[in-house]
Structure formats: structure tokens, C-alpha cells
Amino acid sequence: MNDVLLLGRRAVREIIRYPEATIPTLFIPLFFLAVNIGQVSKTFPSSTPFLEGQGYAAFQLPVSLMFAVATATSGLALVTEIDLGYFDKLLVAPIRRSSIIFGRLAADLVRGVATSTLVLLVGLAFGVDVRTGFPGAVVVVFLAALFGVAYAGFGILIALRTRNVQATQSSFLLFFPALFLTPNFVPFDRLSPAMETLARINPISYVIVGVRSLVIDGWDAGKIGICLLVIVVLGLALTALSLRTIARYDR
């Protein structure tokens, strides 16, 4: 555990000292938030039934939160470390190899809390009213950050498997279709039948729906529970694969 804390602290220090790795990841979610609101706020006024009296920003906010936290930053940091030889230094130290992964994920949690808080504040500036109040806002940030941790496992996995910066960088492209095959612009029942089918089998849909429920609907244990379940299963699966890969690294 001490090793995880030491490596986590180092990774957080890296985030702070290397802001150019994090700031661009905030550009896309904030850009989408502003542009989407600007483009469709007249189409979906606050009287639209699924907005429950709120502006369209409230509906878009969870999507922007997903974009903000789902980054390949940890994977990129890891593959850079492999490239520089520092990863070998860690492998030859008398620590569990899993500490290297958990240290990175701990830093992802910190980054996720910081970035999702920022995006949430921008959402509030756009007039979003989190219906579940301050506790709900905390849960929104927590769920988003947790999703960021789960997703980081993907970048780490690609980094360990390919040991290639370009491959790790482009892993983010895989997330794009997954995020758009969701009820990101309108609810499930407003999608075409084919899109609705795809969105309903896409687990990320339920993360968005869960977070959105906290912003628009109020406390809905079912939606939040499913959201948390998807994040936990995704996180466990990707982390397990990463742990398996690092355990077999060069073996």
C-alpha cells in the first residue's frame, strides 16, 4: 500500500508539473458543451419534457464530464516511462508490479475529481441546476472521476501491450464511437430504432443516464446503482487485464 501511495504521489506531481498533458483533454468537453448548447438550445427549450424544466446544458453536462475524464493520459505517461527506461527501474525494485498500475490509477482519481469539478462548475455557469443539490454534485464528481479511473485502465492496457506511444495515443479514438452510440443528444426513446438498440447495449449509456439523473431528475437509486455497477465492472475488467499484462511483462 505504501508503494501505491509513493507512486501515486509521484504521478500526481507529474500531473501538476506537466499541465500540458491535462489541459488539452479539457478543451474537447468544454468545446462540445458550449457548441452543443449553442446549436440546439432553441430546438430543445426548457419546456422539452425530458429536460424537466432545465436548459439543454443540464442534459449535455454528463456527456462533457465523460469526455473530460476519459483520457489516455496515464497510458501515455506509462508508455513514455517504458520508452525512457524508468519503467525497468520500477520493475527491478522490490515492489509488487501491481503497485505501478494502482499508483497510476490513484493519480487518475485525483485528476478525475479536479477535471470533473471544473467541468461541473462551467456547467453551473451555463445555468445548470443540479437537482440533487450539493450532495448530488459531489456524487456526480465522484462517479465521473471513478469512470475516469476505470477508463484509464484501457490506456494502461494498450501502453503495456503495444509499448508504443502512437498506439496508446490513438486508443482514445476508440472511445469516441462508444460515447456517441449513447443517448448523448436525446433520450433512448427519441433515438431511431437501430440507434436505440446500439445505445441500449452500450454500457457507457448507463453511466451517462445515471449521472444525468442526478442533474435532471433527482435521486434515482436504480439509475445510480446501474451507473456505479457499469463503472465498477468496466474498471475491474480493464484493471484485471492490465494487472495480468504487467505480471507477464517480458515473461
Partner 1 sequence: MFELDEVEWPGSGAAAGAAGPASIRARALRRTFKGGIEAVAGIDLSVETGEIFGFLGPNGAGKTTTVRMLCTLLPPTSGSASVAGLDVVEDAAVVRRRIGVALQEIGLDPVQTGRELLELQCGLYGIRGRRARERTGELLELVGLREAADRRTKTYSGGMKRRLDLASALVHSPDVLFLDEPTTGLDPASRITIWEEVRRINAAGATIFLTTQYLEEADQLCGRLAIIDDGRIVAEGTPERLKAEIGHDVVSVTLAGADPRRTEEALRGLAGLERVVAEPDALALYVDDGAGSVAEIVRRLDRDGLSVGAISVARPSLDDVFLKATGRRLEGHDAEQPEAVAS
Between 19 and 193, name the residue whose CB sits nearer to partner 1.
Answer: 19
> Of these, 20, 42, 47, 94, which contacts partner 1 (CB under 8 A)?
94
Position 192 contacts partner 1 (CB under 8 A): no
Pair 187, 208: CB distance under 8 Å: no
2, 30, 1, 26: which is closest to 15 by C-alpha?
A: 26
Would you say 6 or 121 has its CB closer to partner 1? Answer: 6
* In the complex, minimum distance from the CB of residue 93 to partner 1, in angstroms, rounded to a whole number: 4
Separation in Å, CA 65 to CA 3, 24, 142: 30, 14, 11
Closest by CA position to 127, among listed 41, 218, 207 = 41
10 makes contact with partner 1 (CB under 8 A): yes
Residue 59's identity, in one-letter code, is: F
Reduce the DSSP state of residue 72 to 3 states and report it.
coil
Alpha-carbon separation of residue 185 from 32, 116, 152, 195, 200 (angstroms): 11, 20, 25, 12, 14
* Residue 18 Cβ vs partner 1, minimum distance, rounded to whole Å: 6
| 8 Å CB contact between 187 and 204 | no
Q: Distance (Å, rounded) from C-alpha 119 to C-alpha 73? A: 18
Site size toward partner 1 (CB under 8 A) is: 24
Nearest approach, Cβ of residue 166 and partner 1 (Å): 20
Instruction: Single out the residue of 120, 132, 149, 101 nearest to residue 60, CA to CA.
Output: 120
Per CB under 8 A, 18 contacts partner 1: yes
- Give me the least distance between CB of 3 and partner 1, in Å please: 6
Q: Least Å distance between CB 13 and partner 1?
A: 7
Per-residue x/- mask for partner 1, residues 222 to 251, rule CB under 8 A? ----------------------------xx
Q: Applying CB under 8 A, which part among 5-13, 137-145, 169-177, 178-186 lies near partner 1? A: 5-13
CB count, 10 Å around CB of 105? Answer: 23
Q: Between residue 63 and residue 92, which ones bind partner 1 under the rule CB under 8 A? A: 81, 84-92
Comparing CB distances to partner 1, the nearer of 41 and 98 is 98
Cell of 31: 468545446
| Cα gap 159→169, rounded to integer Å | 9
Residue 6 contacts partner 1 per CB under 8 A? yes
Segment interacting with partner 1 (CB under 8 A) among 12-20, 58-66, 162-170, 204-212: 12-20
The DSSP symbol for 171 reads G
Q: Which residues bind partner 1 (CB under 8 A)?
A: 2-3, 6-7, 10, 13-14, 17-18, 81, 84-95, 250-251
